[in-house]
Amino acid sequence: MIDMFKSIIQTIKKEPSGAAEKTDSELELQIATCALLLEMAHADDEYTAEEEAHIAELMQQRFDLSHDAFEELRSLADQRRREQIDLWGFT
């Protein structure tokens, strides 16, 4: 009986299943946004420190990211950007 009660309490404390999906879709949105910004910055084959700083500022403000979180996200987005043959996957 006590185990059943503990199980019910744990179930109540857990996030709803939709919350995890929202987190995943939010992350995908962040990756896609960053990848598209990186693609635009690389379009002229010249990626400057000014462009990098501007992308960092935009992403950190829009998605409320710390510097470290942005750097991790940027690295992942850049990797995905390089692996894509087109931009369709980001839209």
Q: How far apart are CA 65 and CA 63, in angstroms?
A: 6
pLDDT band at 91 (very low <50, low <70, confident <90, very high): low
Q: Is the pLDDT of residue 1 over 70?
A: no
Residue 33 DSSP label: H
Length of the chain: 91
Q: What percentage of the chain carries pLDDT values higher than 70?
A: 68
As a whole number of angstroms, the longest Cα–Cα distance in the chain is 67
Q: How far apart are CA 34 and CA 41, in angstroms?
A: 10
Query: Closest by alpha carbon to 84, among 28, 51, 41, 36?
Result: 36
**pLDDT tens track for 8-30:** 555 545 544 444 445 788 898 99
Q: What is the pTM of this model?
A: 0.68
